Structure 1
Amino acid sequence: MLRTALRNVLAHKARLLMTMLAVLLGVAFVSGTLVFTSTISEAFHKSSEKGYSDVDVSIRQDSGDAPEGRDTVSPLSQRTLDGAARLPGTESATGVVSGFAALSDKDGKLVGEGFSSQGANYYAGGNGKGTDARYPMKEGVAPRERGEIALDAKTAERTGYKVGDTARMSVNGPVREEKITGIFRTDDGNVAAGGTLVLFDNATAQRLFAKPGEYTEIQLKAEPGVSQAALKERAEKILPEGAEAVTGKQLADDESRMIEDSMSGMKTSLLAFAGIALFVGIFIIANTFTMLVAQRTKELALLRAVGAGRRQVTRSVLIEALVVGAVAGLAGMAAGVGIAAGLRTLVGSMGSMPDGPLVIEPSSVVISLLVGVVITVLAAWLPARRAAKIPPVAAMGALHAPASTRSLVVRNTIGALLSAAGVVLVLMGTKMDGDSGKAPMGLGAALLLVGVFVLTPLLSRPLIAAAAPVLRLFNVSGKLARQNAVRNPRRTAATASALMVGLTLITGLTVIASGVQKGIDKMASASIKADYTISMANYTPLSPAVEKKLAQSDQVTATSPLRNAAAEVDGDTEYLTGVNGASIGKLTALEFTAGGWQGLDDGKRIVVDDSTAKAKGWKLGSSVQVAYDDGAKERLTVGGLYKGNEMIKGILVDNKAVTPHMDKVADMQVLAKTKDGAGAEVKDALTKQLGDNPAILVQDKKDISEGVSQMISILLNMLYGLLAMAVIVAVLGVINTLAMSVFERGQEIGMLRAIGLDRRGVKRMVRLESLVISLFGGVLGIGLGIFFGWAAGELIAGSGLDTYTLVLPWGRLGVFLALAALVGVLAALWPARRAARLNMLAAIKTE
């Protein structure tokens, strides 16, 4: 039986080619993901180790020491640094201070990745005359005084800056013009990932990112022969309150773990789409082996007649699947390595990852091969069982008996039950709040998808029959195409389902994205009257000088900074949002359920969103005890209750109340209203008023909406690209089904040719059959996608975006249906040509 199975594989190479391609694509996606993520993780891990190679112990603020929701001041002073330098076994001690620093290129555009735009100190020793081993100078000298900076070599190369040039930059809002005195090398992982690093002299960096004489971290290098653990133990004896000592090894491990955690989301997403492609491939594999078994009915029945048992026949088919899966798995693994290498080159060319070799872990190879083999064998198991049930007497017939009515009834009953359960769970999920509805909705979606797949043979007849009036226009070819499409409902179902899965996901994601975009547009227009919002490019705190600068413009009629301050409110830690009480009513359009903005500008009142007030038990006129971070306490009165949203919510109070108690005054954003309203000229005027600062975003409502729309479009395009794999696999499935159907119906096609159907008619018949099957899968997929999109939208609306609106993008849905039709046309090219070229006499003689 083993020899028989291997012989069948070699005898049916062409038939199994499409199956192998389907498995190969799925495995390539899996192996490519595993290899690519392993390569990135290893590259960043090595970069982390290299970056901390000169750090044996780090003294830093204890992350667990700060109360939740509070900002804390670094406890690391010059005194701590001097004490650490005198510790026995310490070769050197370096004070570190860093923070956000946006650099503009020569065209005035922001350099780097925004969040990776960092500034730090060049620590030249206690006397300011030494060198910082972390940043060896490639050209020029280190910054020594205010107004001087040094750039990392990669940023200098990207921007074209040289020593002696003047660069424009910003730390928290106002524009700074700094002279470049040096260009340095660094192993900093953020720089390797495409970010920027700007160095200031020690005093300037402390003033910008901390306080004079304070550091955010102190790094110690041990003398030869002194272990990291021993130096850490000594450092712990001089730690100020709220600080901790950590070894360099732990720092590198922690950073590597953070990188792996950040990579896990991408890895999971890529593997999920690989799983979708493999899931679609299961239909093709099962379909292929079902047709192979049907075509070899006589052969299998004769094997049974000469003594082969049912288990031997099952094993024979499974061995074929094992061989196909192993070969496809190996080829997919190799293709995946090529994909990973291409991705590494692409990402590396964008400067977003450090250099490093391609990492192929043994686990990646094993998992990829197992995926290929297991998926193929599982998909072939049902056809193998069906083959084992063929009675020996079937050898006397041409074909084995078709599926019984009872089996179809059982299938339809199971499909109806699964679909009903899925619909009920999905509807239940729409009625639940937030995260509680995700699990039932996800389970319901899976059950409904499987249920529809099981019901597809039943659904195929009425839906394909609906295309009869159009098919009649093609005369005999159209009539034959319709009859062929419904001749074997199970085969049609398996073929159409592969396309259905891909289009269900694509349609659902598109409907959700369109609804979210519409909801955000409505939220922006419903909650903000301001013409512009001004914030930092990476949404870090903004200097109060920006609001003062805006207020000086002739165009600006009203402004209000939004200023966050942590405080204890009735015993709980909360954030108060400071606003300009006199003008906030002109800049927002919040719906009040009680009270209003009146009296807010006296600094003794607050306005609160409904959900917060309900949770606290507050009503209009309630007295609230507030304790600020500086120890001051006062009682404030609830003067208004409003309906909050994702843009504005929480406790709002006049800045008179919070600003005196803030250690470092900073705004999250500024709202501004202009006399001429939003427009290109007004925006340009405001941008110039702020010094053409690349670190500051000046946005109107349209910009906010387009920013969200752009992010959604980028995400959708990425998802479309990933889901294209499932569509490609579905195309292979249609080609596979048609090719084997043509082979199966060779005698019939020969007879049709003999009685007058010409080659063009045969081609048209096969193409129309393919088109009908593809459109059938497309209609099912789009219908399910709309339903899932609506259900997910209801869940999103219940999770906070109450302005979410169901939007059916008819244009895109039409494109998806046209795509399904195109799949059918392209998939039929080769099978139709093959059918038309059959020798009619040879085909008629074929048994």
Structure 2
Amino acid sequence: MLTLALANIRTYARRFVAVVLAVLIGTAFLAAAQMVNASTQASLEKSIGESYQGVDAVAELDWARYSGDGTGQLTTSDVQAAAAVNGVAAVRGEASYGARLDTGTTSLAVGVRQVSEEPWEPVNVVEGDTPTSNREILIDAISAEEAELAVGDTVTLLTGDSSTEVRVTVSGLAAPSMNPLTAATAQVYALPHLITATQPPEARRTVDALHLLLDDPASADVVLPRVGEALADSAAGPVSVRTAQEQTMAEVNSMAGGDEAVTWILLVFVLIALVVTALVVVNTFSVLLAQRSRELALLRTVGASRRQLNRSVLTEAFLVGLVASVLGVAVAWGVMSVLAAVARTALEAPFVTIAVPPLAMLGTVAVGIVLTMSAAWWPARRATRVAPLEAMRPQEAATESARLGWFRLSLGGLLALGGSGLLAWGALGGELLLGFAGGALSFIGVLLLAPLVILPAVRGLSRLTARGVPSRLAGLNAARNPARTAATATALMIGVTLVTMMMTGAQTAKATFDARLASEYPVDVTVDGQLAGVAFDQQDVDAVGGLDGVTAAVLLTPAAVSHAGLPLYAAATESLARVVNQPDYLPAAGQVVLPQGYREDVVVNTADGERTLEAIASQAVTLTPIVTPATAAEIVGEGAGDHQPVLWLKVDDALTPAQALDVRSAVASTLGIDEYSVSGGAIEKGLFTQIIDALLMVVVGLLAVAVLIAVVGVTNTLSLSVLERTRENSLLRALGLRAAQLRHMLSAEAILIGTTAALVGTVLGSIYGVLGVQSALSRMADTVISLPWWQLVGVLSVAVLASWLASVVPGRRSARLSPVEGLASD
């Protein structure tokens, strides 16, 4: 049977291309997902391990066992205790503290640590020299470039609270740190005296960790327990003592904890791609074996048993799956290598390392083989059950029924109805897990019942769009093999459904949060003078009011403090009307608008005694309590204590979320304050939209793999149809159908299948997207249904375009064959 299988693969090699492509893409995706996890581990190990070069062991506070009994900070006393242990050659207290470096034009946060000296591993200096005096520093090259510093420049080093400043000279540039724990901050290295001069007093005796050199590194198993005993009574608390390699792995495992979740998320998308791959493989083998029915029957008549033929087909599937899976792993390795090279150069991340776990790659190959053989088993079993004499009958083309068996029909109906009920229950009750389970079950049911929907839809759409002979023939051809058409459309429908589900879910989530933000943040931008520590005045209002994207600005001045200690602010109602998005939140004389949670009237002192201001309750969480200037003038007392004025800004409604965030940066820069002092509805909307859009882009990119495999399936269906309808197409050509019309016929057939799948997928995806968001957010906010119409149109357009492109190669191949050659073919 192996000889027969190899002969069939050689004979029908072109017909196996789609299977190879589908399995290759699916296994490449799976291999890449596993390489991401392994490469992350290897890269972290390499980068973090750099921090412990030339170190034999590390002692640090064991946060896993720390219960709060202790200072939580190692000190120089611990350094001395460890150094006194027999077998320890040297101990260094490793410490880094935050400071600022002022270049005159730029101020940047830096982490300051001591320059390594003998016998420790020296700092890698790429330009200049290490500091030789207490007025010199070494700074990492990347930070120096960003701050436009060069060797010999003089800068000011300030403590975190700016209480101490020292003028220092840049003596050299160090290689950037590869440790992700420190690489995000500019690194400065200095001699001990300079560190003491600029270090906060409370930090001068503390260290972050102890680095140890041993007399004999091979004796670590004996010496390190002694060090642990010496530090057992440390005032800091429980201390762990590990070898440098053990410490590296501990930090890698701590940082890579989230990467396991990322890997599992990737594997979910891999599973989706593999399901689509299985559909393509099943469809391909069904067609191939149907076309070879006479050949199989002839083998049966000359003595081959059903089991032998079945084994031959599975052997074919094994060989095809093996080749495709190995190629998939190779492609994954190539793509990951290119991405790693880009990261090392463009992103300046030299620690990025590619790791190819052998067992995982063997498992990937095994998955590809099992998937291919499993998908081929049912078509093989069905084809070999046909009686030899029945299969020997002449037939123009193999046709397959799409009639569903009672088991599939019953199971699909049960899953679809039961899952839909769970999904609805989850949506109404705000139960995300219940909604997710219901959605998954109902979608499986829909896939089982897909032929009941897709085939009538194909026929109906073909009748609506049939214009001319080629289009009518395309409709007839699409309906000729219902099972094949249904399987092809279902594969594409899966991808379209999931893509549109994510798009609709993202749009509905944004609309829901926009509505909630509008009620909780009645002002686009709020600048809190109390948080910024700045007393804003009218000049500041004029300055920010003239910024691009800002249409109005109002100054709220502290007016009074109520009896309950609530600070009140005043602003003219006509000015507030220009910036407040909720007209109900504008105070009248004698009223005070209060934030969420405050409903009782407010009592204040006036010249005529106590006065009660009518409370206007709101849903705004961050609303500043406001009164009119006339009401504020009646209140007597010491004003609003030490509270600072507040700025409210209105931004242009036409601004995109990203532009709204740019306004935030511009306001902070104009007022000379930090951006965290600038908040508001427009800012929150911009941040939320950026997060949602980024997640959507990643998810759609991952789902695109499944769509690509489905498009391969469309190409495969058309290619096989062209092969089995060679004589028919040639007869049409002989009767007057032009080559261009033949290509048009195949394109119309592909577009018909693709459009049907896209329309059904779009409807399903929109429903799942809305109900999914309802399940996730209904307990937080009222769901606002919003469909991304242009994105949905884009998905439909891409599906139709991809289907048309899938028909190009089969159409050209069919049109090139002359009618005479086609009619003479078998």
TM-score, normalising length: structure 1: 0.77
Cα deviation, residue 263, structure 1? 2.6
The answer as to 2:213 corresponding to 1:221 is: yes
Residues 265/199 of structure 1: CA separation in 2 closer, same or farther (3 Å cut): farther
Displacement after TM superposition at 1:766 (Å) = 1.0
Q: How many residues align?
A: 741
Indicate how the Cα distance of structure 1 residues 24 and 430 shifts in structure 2: closer, same or farther if over 3 A, else same. same
How far is 1:257 from its partner? 1.0
Uncovered stretches (5+) of structure 2, i.e. residues with no partner: 542-554, 559-563, 572-579, 586-592, 606-614, 624-642, 653-661
The alpha-carbon deviation at position 402 of structure 1 amounts to: 5.5
Amino acid corresponding to residue 384 of structure 1 in structure 2 = A
Identity %: 27
* d(CA) in 1 for partners of 2:323, 2:747: 31
**Secondary structure of the corresponding residue to residue 351 of structure 2:** coil
Distance 2:311 2:737 in 1: 43
Aligned to 2:705: 725
Measure the CA separation in 1 of the matches of 2:443 and 2:279: 13
Counterpart residue type for residue 94 of structure 1: R
What whole-Å deviation, never above 9, does each CA across 1:646-675 have from its counterpart, x for those lacking one?
A: x99xxxxxxxxxxxxxxxxxxxxx997316
Distance 2:225 2:782 in 1: 59
Structure 2 partner of 1:673: 646
Change (3 A) 1:522 1:772: same
> Within 2, Cα distance between the matches of 1:258 and 1:507?
36
Bigger mean CA deviation after superposition, 364-373 or 74-83: 74-83
What is residue 92 of structure 1 aligned with on the other side? Answer: 90
Residue of structure 1 equivalent to 2:435: 441
Aligned twin of 2:187: 197
| Contact 2:522 2:681 survives alignment (8 Å) | no
Aligned pair partner of 1:701 in 676, 681, 692: 681
Paired with 2:464 and 2:519, the residues of 1 have a C-alpha distance of 48
Amino acid at match of 1:736: N
Q: Is the 8 A contact 1:531 1:673 kept in 2?
A: no
How far is the alpha carbon of 1:327 from its aligned partner?
0.8
1:5 is displaced (CA, Å) by 1.5
Determine whether 1:233 maps to 2:228.
yes
Give, in whole Å, the separation in 1 of the partners of 2:644 and 2:178: 36
Matches within 5 A, 1:374-389: 374-389=370-385
Aligned counterparts, 1:41-440, within 5 A: 41-64=41-64, 74-98=72-96, 119-122=111-114, 135=123, 137-138=125-126, 139-142=128-131, 150-157=138-145, 160-165=148-153, 179=168, 181-182=170-171, 183-185=173-175, 188-190=178-180, 196-199=186-189, 201-203=194-196, 206-207=199-200, 211-224=203-216, 227=220, 229-249=224-244, 250-351=246-347, 353-355=349-351, 358-399=354-395, 407-408=404-405, 410-433=407-430, 437-438=432-433, 440=434
Deviations 1:680-717 (A, max 9, x none): 899746424436x6x86745532332232223222222
1:161 is aligned with what amino acid? L
- Superposition deviation, residue 195 in structure 1: 5.5
Tell me the CA shift for residue 505 of structure 1: 1.6
What amino acid sits opposite 2:418 in the alignment?
A
Amino acid at match of 1:294: A
Per-residue CA distance 1:250-284 (angstroms, 9 max, x = gap): 32121121243233233333333333222211111
How far is 1:232 from its partner? 2.5
User: Shift in Å at residue 32 of structure 1?
Assistant: 2.8
Q: Which amino acid aligns with 1:450?
A: I
The answer as to 2:814 corresponding to 1:813 is no
Distance 1:253-1:304 versus aligned 2 partners, 3 A rule: same
1:143/1:150 contact within 8 Å kept: no
The alpha-carbon distance between structure 1 residues 640 and 140, as it changes in their structure 2 partners (threshold 3 A), is: farther
Residue in 2 that maps onto 1:15: 15
Structure 1 residue 460 displacement after superposition: 2.3
- Is residue 809 of structure 2 the alignment partner of residue 830 of structure 1? yes
Contact 2:90 2:213 in 1 (8 A): yes
- Which letter does structure 1 place at the counterpart of 2:74? L
The one-letter code of the counterpart of 2:90 is: S
Q: CA deviation at 1:792?
A: 1.5
Q: Could you list the per-position Cα deviations for residues 569-615 of structure 1 after superposition, in whole angstroms to 9, with x for gaps in the alignment?
A: xxxxxxxxxx99415999998764664595899xxxxxxxxxxxxxx
Q: CA deviation at 1:739?
A: 0.8
Q: CA deviation at 1:205?
A: 6.4
Residues 74 and 235, structure 2, Cα contact 8 Å, conserved in 1 = yes
- Give yes or no for contact 1:57–1:245 (8 Å, CA) kept in 2: no
Distance 1:61 1:599 in 2: 53
* Partners of 2:536 and 2:644 within 8 A in 1: no
8 Å Cα contact 2:72-2:236 kept in structure 1: no
Preserved CA contact (<8 Å) 1:533 1:671:
no
Paired with 2:183 and 2:272, the residues of 1 have a C-alpha distance of 30
Contact 2:36 2:263 in 1 (8 A): no
1:107-133 deviation digits (Å, cap 9, x = unpaired): 9698xxxxxx862432789xxxx9985
In 2: Cα distance, 1:11 partner to 1:342 partner? 36
Amino acid at match of 2:268: A
Q: Aligned pair in 2 of structure 1 residues 313, 223: CA closer, same or farther (>3 Å)?
A: same
User: Higher Cα Rg: structure 1 or 2?
Assistant: 2
- Report the more deviating stretch, 28-37 or 815-824: 28-37
User: In structure 1, which of residues 494, 498, 511 is the aligned counterpart of residue 491 of structure 2?
Assistant: 498
Is residue 2:540 matched to residue 1:555?
yes
Q: How does 1:604-753 map to 2 (within 5 A)?
A: 673-674=646-647, 684=666, 686-690=668-672, 698-753=678-733
For structure 1, which segment, 131-140 or 173-182, has the greater mean C-alpha deviation from structure 2 after superposition?
173-182
Residue 380 of structure 2: SS of its match in structure 1?
Answer: helix
How far does residue 305 in structure 1 lie from its aligned partner after superposition? 2.1
**TM-score of the aligned structures, taking structure 2 as reference length:** 0.79
CA distance in 2, matches of 1:26, 1:104: 53
What is the aligned partner in structure 1 of residue 575 from structure 2?
none
- After superposition, the Cα gap between the structure-2 partners of 1:398 and 1:678, relative to the gap in structure 1 and judged at 3 Å, is same
**1:221 CA drift (Å):** 3.2
The whole-number CA distance in structure 1 between the counterparts of 2:239 and 2:362 is 42
Change in 2 beyond 3 A, CA 1:181/1:71 = farther
| Corresponding residue SS for 1:95 | strand
Q: Return the offset for 1:141.
A: 4.5
Given candidates 457, 473, 478, the residue that maps to 2:451 is 457
TM-superposed CA distance for 1:491, in Å, is: 0.7
SS in 1 for 2:487: helix
Tell me how far 1:323 sits from its aligned partner: 0.7
Q: CA RMSD in A?
A: 4.2
Q: CA offset at residue 242 of structure 1?
A: 2.4
State the 1:464 CA deviation: 1.9
Change in Cα spacing, 1:223 to 1:678, as seen in structure 2 (3 Å) is farther
Say which SS state the counterpart of residue 51 (structure 1) adopts.
helix
Give the drift of 1:500: 1.1
Per-residue CA distance 1:187-244 (angstroms, 9 max, x = gap): 5512796654345743366429x64533343433334465252443343244115242
Q: Is the 8 A contact 1:41 1:259 kept in 2?
A: no
Letter of the 2:792 counterpart: L
User: What SS does the aligned partner of 2:180 have?
Assistant: helix
Which whole-Å CA distance do the structure 1 matches of 2:141 and 2:291 have between them? 67
Task: Give distance in 2, aligned partners of 1:189 and 1:778.
Answer: 47
